[in-house]
Amino acid sequence: MSLTRIHNLSISLDGFATGEPQSLEAPFGHAGQRLHEWMFATRFWDAGGTAGVDDAFAVRHEDGIGAEIMGAHKFGPPGWQDDPGWTGWWGPNPPFHTPTFVLTHHPRPSLEMEGGTTFHFLAASPAAALQEARAAAGGQDVRIGGGPSVVRDFVAAGLVDHMHLVQVPIVLGRGVRVWDGLEGLEDDYAVEAVSSPSGVTHLTFTRTGPGRGDPS
């Protein structure tokens, strides 16, 4: 069975997965890199990093993933749709290595990068995008790569089987909140929390019943 999964989505104590405003210089706005320092310190990111609980969670980002879906805000700064030369933040060899579907109201031709990543651009509902990604995933799982509003849309549509959030002990005050519209989420998921010596808390949500929106 091919699952739909979310990994390593870092949020502040007040639930923001990105600060504001987003720009070319500041992809996470005033949050800077503060939401992701826990990950930079792991072996997943850096061979000399830690191999504890943070790393154990971080590495699952890759495991068994055959495609990713991301939102337009993850692919580029405001206005990238008007720049035909924009190929994402990640240089010639992006860290996805699978078909990667970018949700945008302004689709463009697919873009084949080095290392196995091909960007496809879709104007589609969450369910329709998932169907395309699933077909491209070769029987493996589909990752919803964020940002927070895309995560919210897929979770609210009942399409997500497993979600891993990482709560970082900072209060951002503003940005894009992951929780909005998800009242009662715990009814459909087994929730676990485990705090790490690094200061972050890993939250996992594992779906306990059939999906609300996935016809498969």
What is the 8-class DSSP label of residue 160? -
Residue 14 or residue 62: which is nearer to a second copy going by CB?
14
Q: Candidates 32, 64, 138, 199: give the one binding a second copy (CB under 8 A).
A: 199
With binding defined as CB under 8 A, does residue 32 bind a second copy? no
Q: Candidates 66, 100, 200, 207: give the one binding a second copy (CB under 8 A).
A: 200
Give the Cα separation of 119 and 103 in Å (integer): 10
CB of 200 to a second copy, least distance (A): 7
3-state secondary structure at position 159: coil
Structure tokens at 50: 């830690």
CB of 195 to a second copy, least distance (A): 4
Residue 84 or residue 184: which is nearer to a second copy going by CB?
184
Q: Candidates 9, 10, 15, 61: give the one binding a second copy (CB under 8 A).
A: 15
With binding defined as CB under 8 A, does residue 20 bind a second copy? no
Structure tokens at 81: 């749709």
The owner of tokens 């706005």 is 29
Contact region with a second copy (CB under 8 A), list: 2-10, 124-132, 136-144, 191-199: 191-199
Number of C-beta neighbours around residue 186 at 10 A: 11
193 residue type, one letter: A
CB of 161 to a second copy, least distance (A): 17
CB of 212 to a second copy, least distance (A): 15
Give the Cα separation of 28 and 19 in Å (integer): 5
Q: In this structure, is the dihedral angle defined by the CA atoms of residues 8, 22, 78 and 115, taken in order, positive or negative? A: negative
User: Looking only at residues 127 through 186 of this chain, which bind a second copy when binding is defined by CB under 8 A?
Assistant: 167, 169-174, 177, 179-186
Interaction site with a second copy (CB under 8 A): 13-15, 167, 169-174, 177, 179-186, 191-195, 199-201, 203
